[in-house]
Each structure stands twice: as C-alpha cells, then as structure tokens.
Amino acid sequence: MFVLKNAWFTIKRHAARSLVMVLTCLVVTALATTAATVLQADTKARTTDYESQQVDAVISPRKGTKASPLGWNEYSKYAQRLQMDGMQYKAYFHETANIDPEGLPQSGSYSLVGVSDKAAEPTLPHGPFVLDQGKGLDYASQNVSGTQTVLISKQMARANKLKVGDTLTIKDPRQEDQQVKLTVSGIYHYRKAAGQAADRAIYTAYPTFAMLGLDTASKPGDPGHELLVAFVLDSPSTYHKFIKELRKDGLKASQYDIDSPSLKDYQRRMEPVHQAADQARTTIILVCLLGGLILLGCLFLMLRGRANEIGMAVTIGVHKARLGWQFALETLLSTLPGLALGLALGAAISRPLGRSLFRLGSLASMPHAGLIWKMILIGLAVCLVLALAAATRVAAFRTAQLYTNDLEDEA
C-alpha cells in the first residue's frame, strides 16, 4: 500500500508528464492496431483467400512464335491426361468462325461465337456484354428446342433494322444449297467501347455453332477461326500442378503460355490491398519510433533529479527493491491505461479507417482475436521494459553517495 500510495502521489504531482505518457501509449497502440489490421487483411488475401480461388487455366500460343493454336484433339488429349492423374476440373469454352448472313442491308463478314455456358461470357473475344433487350442465351435447351437463337449488338440491329424476334439466314457450311434460320432473342452492348469487328459479333449457345458444322468447317488458326478452352481448377496449387503435368506431357513452354485470367483478375483486385499494407508497415514504424522517443523522454524526465529522493528513502530504511517497485509502478500506471484504451480504440476504428484512410473497401475488417493478443503481449513487453528501466535507476544508486556531495549535485 505504501508503494502504491507513493507512486500515485508522484503521478499526480507530475500530471502533465503522466498524461503525455498515457496519451502517447493510447495513440501509438490505436494506430498500430489499425495498421496491423491492414496487414492482417493483406496476409489473408495472399494466403487463405488466394488458395480458395477457383482458377481458370487458358493455353495460348506464345507471341513471337509460329506455334499453332490448339484444336479439339489436343485439348481432349490433355483433358484425358488430367483425369488419369486424378485432377478434378471443369471447363468452359467459346469458338468463333466467320459467317455471311444473307439479305442484310449492312453486307460483309460477321462472326458467330459459340459459347459453352454463362461462365464463358466474361472471357469472350471482345469482352463482356450487357443485354439491352430480349433474353439471354438459353444454354440448357438450345439443342433440343428446335429454335436456334442468337444475340446481336445494338449497332448491328440499328444498321440492319433488326429487332428481337427477327431471323438471320445463313448458308449451311456443309451443304451450300441449304439455309439455316437463326432467331434474334436479344440485343446487347459492350461495357467498354468496341470496334467494328466486335459490333459484328453474333453470339449463340455452342450446340447451335456445332449444329452448323462451323467447328469442323475450318480449324483454329485459320482466318477468323478462334477457339478458347479454359480448364477450371479448384485452387492455385492445383493450377501449378496442372502446368507441370502439361509441360511433362509435351506442351513446350517456349511455344505455349498457360495463363489464368481469373487469377490475374484476383491479383489486380488485391493490388490496392498490397499497397495499403506497404503504407501500414511504414505507419507502424514511424508511429512506434516517434512514440518510443516520447516515452523515453518522459521516462528520462521522471528519473532525472531523483537521487536525493532515493537517498532519503534508503536513509530511513526503505529497501531498494521496494523503492524500485515504486518507480516501476509509476511507469506502469502511466502506460498500461493508455495501452488498454488504445487497444479498444484501435479495434473500434480499424474498420472505418481501413475503408477511408487505407481504401480497403469491403475488405476492411476488425482485428482478429489472435492479433489482439499479439498486440497485448507486445504492449505489455514494452511497458515492462520501461518499468524495468525505471527500477534499474534505483538499483544503480550507490549507497556510498549518501556520504558524498553527489546527491546535492544530482538534485
């Protein structure tokens, strides 16, 4: 009780200095907790969230080489190899070929794109589109309904005076004397500005494309004929295994690239998080350095000129250990409240500051329990080091000073 009473009396006597220590601990802890929460989000984005991503793997000829685009035979061979290796995957694809619809005011070559399913739409040759009128493609029943439907661009509809429900007539590539009618089920526009070739793209479900024989009338790599097949894998680790297996199976890295549009898109979306993490690391370093200097300065002021106090206490029989505990308690009472309040404040402001200051958006979160405990342990360690430094001042006092003029000089 004697120690606590004396420590509290000293704190009240130097209220301004004690308040500075409390506020410094509060601000440093709050900002460090907020910045550490940003690092927590970045770590999660690089590990847990990254590994939970579904990855689409796309094979394409390397630019600058004479490698031919892969055809269905090659894709089938690689798919069988993956099945033999026990790798689970899904796939989506789209294939493009040139067609010449008859009777349109805007003559010329158009392209028909056969799309496997909804998952393939974001990777279409001219980018994703938005439906303006009518209905989207019916991937489930297109091949059994008897009605072959297509989507055309708003520019194509305007130039050829077409509307939903009208038909396009094209020649059957396998039988030149036969015609096939395609019903316009919807009209679209692109999300981004596109060129004339994009406006002349006609989209349909793949069964219609195959029914017309366009998949065999020419081959990928021929003028206007393109094929994209994406293998959808369950994780990035499976994706890297996929690459190794295909390389071992003869797909040369010098001729073919294997990329993942979805993984690149994820990394692009996470780039602001990585940049915010760099800012957070800088914030932690600067805040801790500045806060540490302030606390050391306050500690120096607290211990300076107290040799006379220590000497008088030793003279009346106060043990150094008891006196050292008093000095340590003064430090702890000036730092622990700031630590506790700073942790509470940091936990409360981490999400709003993550959104506004670090621009994390929906990725901003509260600190996890593990992070809170880590901050508590680090904060306690710093407080204990300062307390030990204060207690060491008493331990360093030489009893011989009682019989010299050193006390008066230090005082």
Mean pLDDT by 10 residues, the chain (411 residues): 77 88 96 94 92 92 90 90 84 92 80 92 89 88 65 93 91 74 92 85 92 86 91 92 89 93 91 92 96 94 80 75 85 94 94 85 86 94 94 77 54 46
CB-count exposure of residue 61 (10 Å: 0-12, 13-18, 19+): middle
- Using a cut of 0.85, tell me whether the model's pTM lies above it: no
- 359 with 223, same domain: the answer is no
- 64 with 127, same domain: the answer is yes
3-state helix, strand, coil in the chain (%, to 5): 55, 20, 25
Domain boundary among 209, 239, 267: 267
CB atoms within 10 A of CB 150: 20
- 213 with 128, same domain: the answer is yes
How far apart CA 303 and CA 327 sit, in angstroms, is 9
How far apart CA 304 and CA 302 sit, in angstroms, is 6
How far apart CA 143 and CA 147 sit, in angstroms, is 8
Element housing 385 (H / E): helix 369-395
| Residue 406 domain boundaries | 2-50+270-410
Tell me the two tokens of residue 10.
């000293």
Element housing 201 (H / E): strand 201-205
Pairing of strands 226-233, 55-61: antiparallel
How far apart CA 24 and CA 12 sit, in angstroms, is 17
SS3 readout for 66-94:
CCCCCCHHHHHHHHHHHHHCCCCCEEEEE
Tell me which residue has tokens 């094209």: 170
CB atoms within 10 A of CB 144: 8
**Residue 400's pLDDT is what?**
61
**Residue 406's pLDDT is what?**
53
Domain boundary among 246, 267, 288: 267
CA pseudo-torsion sign 395, 400, 401, 403: positive
How far apart CA 394 and CA 321 sit, in angstroms, is 8
**Residue 144's pLDDT is what?**
47
How far apart CA 185 and CA 180 sit, in angstroms, is 16
- 301 with 336, same domain: the answer is yes
Nearest by Cα to 101 from 93, 92, 110:
110
- 172 with 293, same domain: the answer is no
**Residue 361's pLDDT is what?**
79
How far apart CA 180 and CA 153 sit, in angstroms, is 20
Domain count, the chain: 2
Hey, what's the torsion of the CAs at 351, 357, 359, 364, to 10 degrees?
A: -10
Domain boundary among 267, 285, 310: 267
- 263 with 337, same domain: the answer is no
- 227 with 371, same domain: the answer is no
How far apart CA 235 and CA 367 sit, in angstroms, is 26
Strand, helix or coil for residue 287: helix
**Residue 365's pLDDT is what?**
85
- 287 with 394, same domain: the answer is yes
- 219 with 105, same domain: the answer is yes
Tell me the two tokens of residue 335.
């730092």
Residues 6+ apart with CB under 8 A from 339: 25, 26, 29, 376, 379, 380, 383
